[in-house]
């Protein structure tokens, strides 16, 4: 069976969406399917392009992509409608991670993965026909599902949340000794849609230090993420001057995992000052970095919006905050109370186990095999 996975964001981006798509590709390859990952191009990919893309994503993912084929696709190029349509007909399954746009496909089975709860009107006849062409539709979270069903007027068949690979993290009984006085946040530096709002994080940290300079003197905020917006990244760097803040833009997966395991607290502020019911696309749709932090026993103190609520679940609701003061108060309280912080970090780790590779695989294969 030939399965193609396509995203218009490849090969430029390296974020949670790209990790999700390659995680799907890797599992399908392990299951014995012939797997293709497609990049938009009117010309076949050169050996050098394939080599560079594979190395880039292997470094990002920290696993081998051997056995997964990288190919060109006329989708999202100036190629004509028929060329695009006939290309899709080559495959038994086309798995499309949409940016909100839809197209017709002649693959035997079409699976649509929706990661962003975009407020797009899909009520026209042509949009309804396109939606009908995608027989299986899934989202990355219950949060996204809720708004897609409302805005797009379509049924979501599966919720397929990302998973944590626990084998990447060390499972030590004395994990506490590895923890340092670090507040960590991971995410690309950009302004559009669900910006990770590193500017807000810097502001929060500055005020946290002002609240208790003695306690915070030995604590550091670490911001990790690729620069996708140079101007925004420069703004954040300027705001962070003279503060105990480290900004890292280029970090391989191995070093990132080490940082997760050193961090004591994890912050996430996507959607700050946003009304999620009016602009759900500007709120974190799921939040794989929070989940990975939890797996490494870094305590999440995160915004009470979007997919963050879904990740933490009911037993960690005390780690959610609604405004700046609540975030700072909870963070400072748990910085001072090490025993409670470590107890909650254990609870966060237990919660992360729900988002397992086995569960991810089961749902993916159910979609692939569904009649």
Q: Quick one: pLDDT at residue 195? A: 83
Q: Provide the 8-state DSSP code for 343.
A: H
Residue 246 sits in the same domain as residue 159: no
Q: How far apart are CA 312 and CA 317, in angstroms?
A: 7
Phi, psi of 205 (to 5 degrees): -65, -40
Measured distance CA(4)–CA(35) in Å, rounded: 6
Specify the length of the chain in residues: 371
Domain check: are 190 and 60 in the same one? no
* Residues 334 and 361 both lie in one domain: no
pLDDT, tens digit (0-9, with 9 covering 90-100), for 293-351: 999 999 999 999 999 999 999 999 999 999 999 999 999 999 999 999 999 999 999 99
Same domain for 174 and 158: no
Residues 218 and 324 in one domain: yes
139 and 182 in a common domain: no
| Six token digits for residue 359 | 């569960």
Specify the CATH number for the domain of residue 308. Answer: 3.40.50.2000
Overall domain count for the chain: 2
* Sequential DSSP letters for 70-123: EEEE-TTSS--HHHHHHHHTT-SEEEEEESS------SSEEEEEE-S-------
304 and 206 fall within a common domain: yes
Residues 296 and 239 both lie in one domain? yes
Q: Are residues 55 and 191 in the same domain?
A: no
The whole-angstrom separation of Cα 49 and Cα 299 is 40
Q: pLDDT tens digits, residue range 70-82?
A: 999 999 999 999 9
Range of the domain at 320: 167-352
Task: Give the Cα separation of 12 and 20 in Å (integer).
Answer: 15
pTM of the model: 0.93
Domain identity same for 227 and 208: yes
Token digits of residue 320: 């959610």
């Amino acid at each position: 069976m030939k399965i193609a996975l396509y995203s218009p964001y490849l090969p430029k981006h390296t974020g949670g969406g790209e990790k999700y798509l390659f995680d799907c590709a890797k599992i399908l390859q392990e299951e014995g399917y012939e797997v293709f990952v497609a990049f938009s191009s009117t010309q076949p990919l050169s050996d050098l392009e394939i080599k560079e893309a594979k190395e880039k994503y292997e470094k990002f993912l920290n696993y081998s992509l051997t056995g997964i084929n990288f190919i060109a696709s006329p989708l999202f190029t100036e190629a004509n409608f028929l060329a695009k349509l006939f290309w899709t007909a080559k495959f038994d399954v086309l798995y499309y991670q949409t940016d909100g746009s839809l197209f017709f496909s002649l693959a035997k089975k079409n699976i649509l993965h929706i990661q962003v709860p975009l407020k797009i009107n899909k009520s026209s006849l042509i949009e309804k026909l396109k939606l009908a062409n995608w027989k299986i539709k899934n989202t990355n979270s219950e949060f996204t599902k809720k708004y897609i069903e409302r805005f797009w007027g379509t049924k979501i068949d599966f919720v397929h949340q990302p998973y944590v690979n626990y084998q990447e993290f060390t499972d030590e009984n004395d994990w506490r000794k590895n923890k340092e006085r670090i507040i960590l946040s991971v995410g690309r530096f950009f302004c559009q849609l669900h910006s990770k709002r590193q500017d807000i994080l810097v502001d929060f940290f500055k005020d946290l230090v002002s609240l208790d300079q003695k306690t915070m003197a030995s604590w550091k905020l670490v911001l990790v993420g690729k620069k996708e917006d140079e101007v925004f990244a420069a703004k954040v760097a300027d705001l962070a001057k003279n503060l105990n803040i480290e900004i890292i833009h280029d970090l391989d997966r191995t070093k990132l995992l080490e940082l997760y395991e050193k961090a004591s607290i994890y912050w996430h502020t996507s959607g700050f000052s946003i009304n999620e019911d009016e602009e759900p696309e500007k709120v974190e749709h799921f939040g794989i970095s929070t989940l990975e932090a939890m797996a490494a026993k870094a305590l999440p103190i995160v915004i009470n919006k979007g997919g963050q609520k879904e990740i933490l679940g009911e037993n960690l609701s005390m780690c959610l905050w609604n405004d700046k003061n609540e975030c700072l108060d909870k963070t400072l309280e748990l910085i001072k109370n090490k025993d409670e912080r470590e107890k909650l970090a254990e609870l966060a780790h237990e919660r992360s186990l729900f988002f397992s590779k086995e569960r991810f695989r089961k749902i993916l294969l159910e979609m692939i095999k569904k009649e």
